């Protein structure tokens, strides 16, 4: 059954192995999908169908694992409200004993259903993406342009984690085979290097100024990585280091 779901994107969109775009959605309303506007007889009937769809939506709450076609991926970013037409499904459990349990993985993040999106619309005019997300994307695009797309994305993932970087799955598989998947995740290593550089550059400054610069730098880095839990934990320890050195 086709449904229409409206909600807000709460994660950085990623490309999947099946060449679709994936993100997490904070659902706000849901309803049965009305007749497609493309099958309407005129522009007027198409507009009435769209309005009918809006009226059918009922308030809901909860998170969904969403995949949509790549045709509009450039218009997707965290915080944007979207209306998606598609079908809901229950995530699969592990097919083999000891295998990856996708259902359990999503449940740990508070997600218990997926949405296979077929059509996506934007009920509100596009605003401005989050500042830190825009900076992150600018850094990724610059490295891909000046170095090489594949190598640039790899370097971006090593620096900021793969939370907001689309790395070719072939490369991810190669890192996994040799046990180096952790190299593509932002963690305490990057935070400790960043904290060390800031301490070295600010050692002659007033201690409170040094503390402010250090905490501000860590906060910005956490935002650039997509606020990953491992980075947050490392940033808390880094903040403790700056506090002790004040």
pLDDT at 167: 81
User: Do 86 and 5 contact (CB within 8 A), yes or no?
Assistant: yes
Nearest Cα neighbor of 27 from 71, 72, 59, 51 is 59
pLDDT at 212: 93
Spatial distance between the Cα atoms of 210 and 66, rounded to a whole number of angstroms: 42
* The model's pTM: 0.75
pLDDT (tens digit per residue) in 157-170: 888 877 778 787 88
Q: For 197-206, 210-219, 225-234, which range has the lowest pLDDT when averaged over its residues? A: 225-234
pLDDT(241) > 70: yes
Q: What is the mean pLDDT of residues 10-27?
A: 91
Q: What is the mean pLDDT of residues 186-211?
A: 88
pLDDT(45) > 80: no
pLDDT band at 56 (very low <50, low <70, confident <90, very high): low
pLDDT(26) > 90: yes
pLDDT at 83: 94
Spatial distance between the Cα atoms of 242 and 210, rounded to a whole number of angstroms: 8
pLDDT(38) > 50: no
Q: What is the mean pLDDT of residues 208-217?
A: 92
Task: Pick the more confident residue, 22 or 188.
Answer: 22
Q: What secondary structure letter does DSSP report for 39?
A: G
Backbone angles phi, psi at 121, to 5 degrees: -130, 165
């Amino acid at each position: 059954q086709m449904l229409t779901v409206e909600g807000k994107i709460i994660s950085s969109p990623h490309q999947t192995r099946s060449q679709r775009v994936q993100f997490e959605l904070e659902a706000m309303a849901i309803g049965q999908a009305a007749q497609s506007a493309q099958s309407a007889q005129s522009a007027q009937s198409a507009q009435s169908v769209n309005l009918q769809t809006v009226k059918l939506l009922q308030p809901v709450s909860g998170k969904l694992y969403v995949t949509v076609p790549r045709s509009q991926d450039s218009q997707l970013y965290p915080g944007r409200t979207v209306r998606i037409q598609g079908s809901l499904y229950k995530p699969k459990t592990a097919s083999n004993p000891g295998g990856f349990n996708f259902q359990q993985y999503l449940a740990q993040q508070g997600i218990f259903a997926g949405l296979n999106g077929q059509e996506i619309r934007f009920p509100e005019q596009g605003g401005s993406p989050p500042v830190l997300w825009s900076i992150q994307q600018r850094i990724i695009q610059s490295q891909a342009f000046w170095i090489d797309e594949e190598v640039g994305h790899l370097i971006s993932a090593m620096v900021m984690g793969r939370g907001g970087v689309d790395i070719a799955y072939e490369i991810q598989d190669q890192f996994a085979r040799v046990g180096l998947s952790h190299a593509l995740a932002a963690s305490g290593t990057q935070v400790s290097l960043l904290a060390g550089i800031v301490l070295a550059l600010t050692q002659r400054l007033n201690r409170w100024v040094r503390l402010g610069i250090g905490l501000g730098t860590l906060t910005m880095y956490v935002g650039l990585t997509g606020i990953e839990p491992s980075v947050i934990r490392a940033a808390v320890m880094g903040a403790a280091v700056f506090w002790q050195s004040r």
